[in-house]
Amino acid sequence: MSKFCNLTAMTIFVVLLLGPMVANDTTAQERRAINIWSDGTRMSGDLWLPAGIIVNETSPAIVLAQGWGGLRKELTHPYVTDFTAAGFVVMTFDYRGWGDSDSRLVMVETQPELDLEGMVTVRAKAIRGVIDPQDQVTDVLAAVAFVMSEPQVNPDKIGLWGISYGGGHVMEAAAREPQIAAVVAHVGFMGVSRTDERLVLGRLRAMQKARGEIDPIPVGLDQLGGGSPDFARMVAHRPIDNAHKIRAATLIIDAEDDQYFDSVANGRAVFDIVKQRAAAEYRLFPGDHYTVYGPHREEALALTIDWFRIHLD
């Protein structure tokens, strides 16, 4: 099974994406620690305000979505500083069960009788480090809902940015939330694998869950790349299937020799769908999956900032 899981891993790809104000000495941006509630669980986040933001005026905002096993703190210097320097309000957050966000809880015993107030006391397992794309898209949408209600943000000028596994998340979120004005995906997985192995394993895990043969949320079962992928939940995660619903201006940046998935079948295919109904652009850089993190990071970032300036300002 371990060999099978490793092959599956290559199919789906792995990448290691209101409190007091704190000033950043190098960029003069301000950070506000925030709590975001996603499906009843608290997520930790940061709202970053650009220098010179005018009180009583609203600004465009960008929500950043991390990739496989990524934490929000890893986005601060590579991306937050650049986006705030360009004049955008920026939100970062940790998915539920990651970073310093709270865990989802699962009962590990038979549910007792409810008291008169409908309350019970039970033993529960805290779920940490699980990669569940459906739940993570829910988290992205919760972050969007939060930032839309921020007094210093223009709710008509919300952008989404995601990298790697998070690139697919923001495309799915843009398909579900018509308020999104612009979306950018860097090397995003759109749900099309090179083989059927992920589908086969996902169905097996779903059957095992249904029969109680494995934990309902299988922490550690298929440990991979710094997290536990919930393959049963990944079967239905195909952002490409909802691409026809996207009306946000869309920029997709891919790597020509991506080792984790076929960029033509994923990003290029989504672009071909979106461009029929919305402003869209597709850029392909030479190199592997990590080229937009390294040698082409500055160029990809410049394209991204220009895209948001055009469609959010």
Of 185-189, 291-295, 306-310, the range with the lowest mean pLDDT is 291-295
Residue 294 predicted with pLDDT over 60: yes
Give the CA distances from residue 127 to residues 131, 218, 224, in Å, rounded to whole numbers and listed in that order: 11, 9, 16
Q: Are 109 and 51 in contact (CB under 8 A)?
A: no
Residue 12 predicted with pLDDT over 60: no
Per-position DSSP letters for 27-85, written without gaps between them? T--EEEEEEEEETTEEEEEEEEE-TTPPTT--EEEEEEE--TT--GGGGIIIIIHHHHH
- Residue 132, domain extent: 2-112+119-312
Q: How confident is the model at residue 18 (pLDDT cuts 50, 70, 90)?
A: very low
Residue 71 predicted with pLDDT over 80: yes
Mean pLDDT value of segment 169-176: 98
Report the residue count for the chain.
313
Residue 22 predicted with pLDDT over 80: no
* Pairing mode, strands 130-131 and 180-186: unpaired
Both structure tokens of 169: 């998340």
CA distance 142 to 146: 6
CA distance 137 to 309: 25
Q: How many domains in the chain?
A: 1
The helix or strand, by DSSP H or E, that contains position 202, with its residue range, turns out to be: helix 197-210
Percent residues over pLDDT 90 in the chain: 73
> Which positions ≥6 away from 154 have C-beta within 8 Å?
58, 59, 60, 61
Both structure tokens of 279: 């402003």
CA distance 31 to 45: 10
pLDDT in tens, 84-116: 999 999 999 999 999 999 998 888 888 889 989
Give bridge partners of residue 283 from the DSSP assignment: 253
CATH number, domain with residue 45: 3.40.50.1820
